[in-house]
Amino acid sequence: MVENTQSPTSLRHYAQILWRRKWIVVEAAVIVPAIVLVISFLQPTLYTSVTRIMAVSQSPSLSVVVGTNIDLSKPDERELQTLASFVVTPEIAQRAGAQLGWSDAPATLMAGVSAEADANADIIAVSAKRSDPQKAAQLANAFAGQFVEWRKETQQRSFDEAVQLVDEQIAAAKPGSTERQSLIDRRSQLDVYKALVTGGLTIGEVAQPSSSPSSPKPLRNGALAVLAGLVLGVGFAFVRESLDVKLHSADEIAEATTLPVIAAVPKSRKNEKSSDNLAVLEDPRGPAAEAYRFLRTNLQFVDLNNDVKVVMVTSPLPQQGKSTTIANLAIALLRAGKKVAVVEGDLRRPSLHRFFKIANARGVTNVVAGTSSLDDAAQVLTFHDPGPAVTTPKGRRAVKPVAGEARAPGDLELKVLSSGPLPPNPGEIVGSRQLGAMLDTLRAESDYVLVDAPPMFAVGDAATLAARVDGIIVILRLDQTTADTIKDVEDFFTRVPARPLGVVITGVADDAKGKYHRYQEYYD
């Protein structure tokens, strides 16, 4: 038997959406009841009284005497519905106001009265609302009484028409004839039956003043508003999720791409600067350092043939963590005994010199232009591991790179080639054979050459550099990555000759770790 796992997966997915959008649900569950409660407390206090009108049967003999054109039978359900619609009318309101002696206009009286036929009983309920419970009862009774009287008068008018017809027949009959005497007797019977007509309606229950207000009811309204707020919040959460094209976890990115996810780097802590954070040295047992070591290990796994030495690191957009990733990966490789060089490949907006806090007077452009040798342009940084350390104002342990300092036992040396003076033709320089020759020289001297390339889609430099490297690592920042971004990245690799090594996800929050990032719990 095949086990159905779709339902748990879907429930987990929905739960993740609700947790991700929990503040929408919370805000709706707070704001909606708050609005309802404010409206409830601003409403005037009203009391409701109800008078019940009961449908009754009239004597069948009345119909026999009067004729078939007058329906004196008990009103059925449909007729009660029709009669209920005539209770709250200007005529009945005017009569009720006159009965009560109130000066209110008929429209004002009608605004507080309603009538509804009971589907399960032959009853019309007349409800009246007023700020005074006594007046509410009086108004309901007045409307009900006047409607019953109006109904009676309506049927009596039918008897008046029959009497008028008989009077005409009497006038035309021969005086003293038997026919005339019969008509006179019939007219006398009509007068008697007219007095017996009730209209088929009677007051079954008189309205009484209510002891408690019918509105507002803050507790009931608040409870219903909380439920409504939760429903609206959940609905808004799913609507917001459907409009949000971003991917929200490392697992979602892994499912959206065919490229391997080779590392997931957590968000920087509040007391760390993401622009100069060498987590591998500063917090070697922390989750970020473990993520970079994980990246180093996976880089070796994807290079089983040891043919990947020049690695380009790029990203779809700026500010996604390329420089931070390159620097920490370089230190992680150094600590594994590898010889590493880092090259600035972004000749438009270089950042490595700012990251390492080194001068940018000489660099790649000088080597390509032939105004400086590779050895003269490159700067060797010495990282004390675990050597001298300084303490930042916030108490964070920091290890500073020192350029050109004599190496002590256990120190790490990193060769860094910054951009140098920015050229007017960066696209031509990254595609030049001189830059290719420089990378070949570094390849021969190093175990790994890490090239910090421009964003993939900002300019064409990354595509040009791809022909000069052995493999490419793509940096994706979690809060900036969409399914379309993933598709564009994969399309990029169909157009360039370089080999994709994998994806590194940066800025992963605790609630978006997924199976690729479970180090925080281990080290905390």
Q: Per-residue pLDDT for the chain (524 aa), expressed as one digit of tens each?
A: 334 444 445 677 778 778 877 888 888 888 888 888 888 788 888 899 999 998 876 655 555 454 444 555 566 678 888 889 999 999 999 999 999 999 999 999 999 899 999 888 889 999 999 999 999 999 999 999 999 989 888 877 777 777 778 777 777 777 877 887 787 777 787 777 766 666 778 899 999 999 888 888 878 888 888 898 889 888 888 887 776 667 777 888 888 888 989 998 887 765 454 445 688 888 888 888 899 999 999 988 887 677 889 999 999 888 888 888 999 999 999 988 899 999 999 998 898 888 888 899 899 999 999 999 999 999 998 887 653 333 333 333 334 454 444 455 567 889 999 999 998 888 889 889 999 999 999 999 999 999 999 888 877 888 888 888 999 999 999 878 888 888 888 898 888 888 899 999 988 876 555 554 444 344 34
Whole-structure pTM value: 0.58
Tell me the C-alpha distance between 46 and 50, whole Å: 13
Q: Looking at the chain, how many residues does it have?
A: 524
Tell me the C-alpha distance between 417 and 331, whole Å: 15
Tell me the C-alpha distance between 296 and 310, whole Å: 14
Question: Tell me, what amino acid is at 438?
Answer: M
> Which pLDDT does position 239 carry in this prediction?
81
Peptide bond before residue 386 is cis, with ω within 30 degrees of 0: yes
CA 329 to chain centroid: 38
384 phi, psi to nearest 5 deg? -75, 120
Q: Give Cα separations from 208 to 133, 137, 205 (angstroms).
A: 8, 5, 9
Per-position b or e across 62-90, b if 16+ CB within 10 A of its CB: bbebbeeebebeebeeebbeebbeebbbe
Tell me the C-alpha distance between 364 and 346, whole Å: 10
**55, 92 in Cβ contact below 8 A?**
no
Q: Which of 153, 191, 161 is nearest to 67 (CA)?
A: 161
Query: Which residues have C-beta within 8 Å of that of residue 506, sequence separation ≥ 6?
Result: 265, 320, 321, 324, 325, 475, 476, 477, 478
Q: Give Cα separations from 88 to 99, 151, 157, 226, 440 (angstroms).
A: 15, 13, 21, 35, 96
Query: Which residues have C-beta within 8 Å of that of residue 335, sequence separation ≥ 6?
Result: 280, 385, 412
Residue 46 has what DSSP assignment? Answer: B
Tell me the C-alpha distance between 481 and 493, whole Å: 17
**281, 435 in Cβ contact below 8 A?**
no
Would you tell me which CATH number, out of the four given (3.30.1890, 3.30.160, 2.115.10, 3.10.20), belongs to the domain 47-205? 3.30.1890
> Which pLDDT does position 409 carry in this prediction?
55
Farthest CA pair distance, the chain: 151
Q: Which of 254, 301, 318 is nearest to 517 (CA)?
A: 254
For the record, the structure tokens of 228 come out as 């409504």
> Which pLDDT does position 270 carry in this prediction?
53
CATH topology classification for 250-351+366-372+423-523: Rossmann fold (3.40.50)
Q: Give Cα separations from 516 to 287, 481, 513 (angstroms).
A: 12, 17, 7
H-type alpha helices, 270-425: 279-282, 287-302, 322-335, 352-356, 364-369, 374-377
